[in-house]
Amino acid sequence: MLQSCVQQGDAMELASSDEALLSDAPVGGRLTVDLDAIRANYLSLSRQVTPATVAAVLKADAYGLGADIIAPELYEEGCRRFFVADIREAARLQDALPGDVEIYMLNGLPSGSEHAAASRGVRPVLNTLDQISAWQGICSRLGLRLGAAIQVDTGMSRLGLSAKDVDKLAEDHHWAKSFDPVLLLSHLACADEPDNDVNAEQLASFLVYAALLPCKELSIANSGGVFLGSAFHADCVRSGVALYGVNPTGRLRNPMRPAIQIEGRVIQLRDIAAGTGVGYGLCFTARASGTLATIGVGYADGWPRSLSGKGAVFFRGQRLPIVGRVSMDSIMVDVTELPRGAIKPDDLVELVGPHQTLEEVARDAGTIAYELLTAIGSRYARTYLKRAPGR
């Protein structure tokens, strides 16, 4: 009996020290999010669009970077309007923010979610006439004239009312008695192509619809739209990717401040002889002898398989090409060009940072920075950088 108690005690002590050991254990990769850069990006967009305001788009957990951590930072800079995709994301954001904010759900009002949205004070972006009727219904039942946005489709064919729907709504504005149509929205299909005439055409139809509907404020621009000129700013721009430091302009110079760094850990080094095959499928064969480093980041960490034999990482400014296929938890890079002994197990290499932007990685991978961001996953050790207050 006594012995078993002692054993249990020992086991508990082991368990708690085990937790500490686990949290100190090195991970395969590290994600650093610069909150000051995100705040600076919010302020620079705000300055650019004044007197219009900037609403923050925090869907998909703030593009994978942590909505509950980023939202309060933006609130401190004055942001009071937020966009997410659905009611679950909206509820999580409400938990992270003071009550004096507007949270909109871009994906509309799925039937059955009216009560949850209304009782939480979350505002739907109404994308169909049925959703408008449903919101009217719940507002009348509750006796509350709640806010909502209405989205019109001006050419992207994704979400929002058609021209015919708008005509119907315009015939008679009685629906605006039961709820408050705060915002009229539309979304640009080609905002990152400043020379595409479609942008001006979408803006023109948007303004035609706006004249027909009794919404208080207008919003058509995403991050890219901010850089199409002040006509696109309307009353409010909805910015996501630019806040996170990605170049939204479709031009070479990035006006935003980069906000993330990704590093991967060297988990093994290996000297190989000429003719050695590397990775799944042995798709790469070394032409000469050399040295490989295996890095503990793979496609489960959002480093896509399309970077197999294509992308690179950096170490002290030296480009180290990826060789062979990207695995789930690791990649192999050629470190032969580094001086012997310069790189060691446990060293960190740069995947995204001063030498390689997220946009460059996206180009190598044949995708866009948005997809890489939202694929980052939960395995990285995360660090949020923030200047000490009052400095």
Using the contact rule CB under 6 A, the part of the chain among 8-16, 92-100, 237-245, 347-355 near ligand PLP is 237-245
Task: Please say which residue, 39 or 59, places its beta carbon nearer to ligand PLP.
Answer: 59
Catalytic residue among 63, 168, 280, 386: 280
- Distance of closest approach, residue 64 Cβ to ligand PLP, in angstroms: 12
Task: State yes or no: is 370 an active-site residue.
Answer: no
Query: Which 3-state string (H, E, C) describes 144-189?
Result: CCCEEEEEECCCCCCCCECHHHHHHHHHCCCHHHHCEEEEEECCCC
- Distance of closest approach, residue 61 Cβ to ligand PLP, in angstroms: 13
The angle at the Cα of 57, spanning 51 to 58, to the nearest 5 degrees, equals: 145
Q: Which residues contact 257 (CB under 8 A, 6 or more apart)?
A: 34, 37, 40, 41, 44, 245
Q: Is 57 in the site for ligand PLP (CB under 6 A)?
A: yes
Residue with tokens 């996206």: 362
- Determine which residue in the list 81, 123, 238, 325 makes contact with ligand PLP, applying CB under 6 A: 238
- Determine which residue in the list 213, 241, 312, 349 makes contact with ligand PLP, applying CB under 6 A: 241
How many angstroms separate the CA atoms of 335 and 236, rounded? Answer: 49
- Identify any residues that bridge with 23 across adjacent strands, giving them in sequence order: none
Q: Is 81 in the site for ligand PLP (CB under 6 A)?
A: no
Catalytic residue among 59, 63, 244, 299: 59
> The tokens of 168 are what?
């119907």
Q: Are 320 and 291 in contact (CB under 8 A)?
A: no
- Determine which residue in the list 136, 222, 308, 357 makes contact with ligand PLP, applying CB under 6 A: 222
Task: State yes or no: is 280 an active-site residue.
Answer: yes
Q: Is 223 in the site for ligand PLP (CB under 6 A)?
A: yes
How many angstroms separate the CA atoms of 123 and 90, rounded? Answer: 9
- Distance of closest approach, residue 72 Cβ to ligand PLP, in angstroms: 20
Interface ranges with ligand PLP (CB under 6 A):
57, 59, 106, 187, 222-224, 238-242, 248
Kindly list the catalytic residues: 59, 280
